Chain A
Amino acid sequence: MISCEKASTICNKKQYKEATLLEQIKLGFHLLYCKTCAAFSRKNKKLTILCDKANLHNLSDQEKEKMKEKLEHNI
């Protein structure tokens, strides 16, 4: 038996493929009887799918710093 807190952490890890097999089994068992966590797990998975689909790009911090410098140069 695991707590809901533990279950949510495993669920988050699972979104990044970092949960161990044992953890995943524990989570699966928890989701059988905990409706709240099951709902959270569903939504969490959906968020992962959305993020994958959106093909997000981000600038790294160094690139942003460079931009800031250039901008400040011109203010």
Chain B
Amino acid sequence: MTENYLNPTSWVDNYADYLFNYAVARVSDAEIAKDLVQETFLAGLKSAKNFQGAATERTWLIAILKRKVIDYYRKINSKKGKAEVRINYSSQSDSAGDWLEENVADPFSTLENDAIENEELGLAIQECISKLPKKQSAVFVMKTIRGLSTEDICNELGINPSNLWVMVHRARTNLMGCLNENWFKL
């Protein structure tokens, strides 16, 4: 068994995006998610001496982030005193279809799994991106996720367009291979 060590200086580079995706899916607000990730790193640093090396760094950080997300919901819930839950079986109570039976979830629907699956997919892609060489991942992220124009990226990185497309090509082929391993085979 290999020992796992913590290396806080590379946390942001290696895990920030992964954790951020995880948080965004749960709190659906980018600002709050960013704060939670930051808090996670700081908390990780504080309790680094308790890390026993049984899990990988990432698993360990995700576990902390999970607690942070729970804490966040506890906080907003107590602040506004919104613990009250109101159940309204149907939005227009006088319309047809008021019967409970008609509001039962469709047992054949797979819609509710989509959100879960998409989130897992997002994490899988993020993991694959983090395995790419630095330059490729930078170009791919700017182009695909942040949606910047070719011109802007070229200016920022100081490369010419044909260079950029070569980089995009390599990144995409690598990603296809990686996703084939990590996503389609599971």
B24 — nearest CB in chain A belongs to which residue? A57
Total contacts A to B, CB within 8 angstroms? 89
Given A56-B122, A58-B145, check contact A71 B41 (CB 8 Å): yes
B138 CB to closest chain A CB, in angstroms?
9
Interface of B is mostly: helix
| Nearest Cβ on chain B to A11's Cβ, whole angstroms | 9
Could you say which residues of chain B place their CB within 8 Å of the CB of A55?
118, 122
On chain A, the residues within 8 Å of B11 by CB distance are: 71
Asked if A35 is at the interface of the complex by the 8 Å CB criterion, the answer is no
Tell me, in angstroms, the Cα distance from A47 to B165 when the chains sit together. Answer: 16
- Most chain A CB within 10 A, of B11, B42, B143, B172, is at B172
- A67 CA to B176 CA in the complex, in Å? 30
What separation, in Å, do the CA atoms of A71 and B38 have in the docked complex? 8
Q: How far is the CA of A13 from the CA of B143 in the complex (A)?
A: 11
Interface residues of B (CB under 8 A from A): 8-9, 11-13, 16-17, 20-21, 24, 30, 33-34, 37-38, 41-42, 45-46, 118-119, 121-122, 125-126, 141, 143-146, 150, 162, 165, 168-169, 172, 175-176, 179, 183
Contact residues of A with B, CB < 8 Å?
8-9, 12-13, 15-16, 18, 43-44, 46-47, 50-51, 53-60, 63-64, 67-68, 70-72, 74-75
